Structure 1
Amino acid sequence: MAKSIIVCTSVSHGNTKKIADAIGGVLDAPVVAPAAADLAGYDMVGFGSGIYFGSFHSDLRAFVESLPQQDGRKAFLFATSGLPETRLTRFSGRLIELLEDTGFDVVGGFSCRGFDTFLPFKLVGGIRKGRPDEDDVTSARAFAEHLRDAVDLDRE
């Protein structure tokens, strides 16, 4: 199995950390904040955060922008968001483009709903209370299992 690390920014309700831990458990990957991330020695890197105004967290984006050119290292992304990704709100597109421009080979992505209290949702007590739930965690684990198997196939 490819040696993996997960770089995660989870600041509001622990939504994204919950998903990062589920994925990390399957991949046997440490979960670290961007400020503590050292990618040396890892074959695959997961990048995840909550979605803020239609974009991944600025700390995560700044970390990716600061990375030296990669040589096809595998990457995947994951996110939690109060609202779903749609054609009009394609929040993963910018980060995928940034990762590919940096030389990563993006091999997958996962997102699920998360408790969201950003304005205007805060005015009504937030949306998606209780999310991510156990079904979301199970889906995140299944994503990681699929990713692990796919990456192993690529390495044979």
Structure 2
Amino acid sequence: MNYLRIPRLALCVAPLFAASVPLHAQSPGAGFPSKPVRIIVPWPAGGGTDFAARVIAQKMSERTGQSFIVDNRAGAAGNIGAEAVAKAAPDGYTMLLAITSVSINPALVARMPFDIVKDFAPVTLVARAPMVLAVHPVLPASNARAN
């Protein structure tokens, strides 16, 4: 059986990116936002990231009185949406709600259309989601050690 081997660089970069979130947190400028804000989700509508973005958009709209629009840009393991944010004006009116794949992709893709470290400033951790390993119920495995 072939296992996906995540390069050591990805294992080092992802935690460092996540750990730097508090370092980049700042108070918004006076009068922000003065126009609608786009939250780009690099996944299709209906998934967990999309749901989180819609909850955040609604709460931010209520809190600020300004529209927050969820814009799903799916494809290329999150790179299409991330690239759209990287190329947007650096004015805070286009945000990216991403999951770990966006920080791991640079280690897996030879030519990235953006630099995850230079083109983005993390704002906050939005959610933590568990991952589950599952098998067909006819297998006698009940834990990871079962053969």
TM over 0.5: no
Question: Max radius of gyration: which structure?
Answer: 2
TM-score by length of 1: 0.38
TM-score by length of 2: 0.40
Indicate the structure with greater strand content: 1
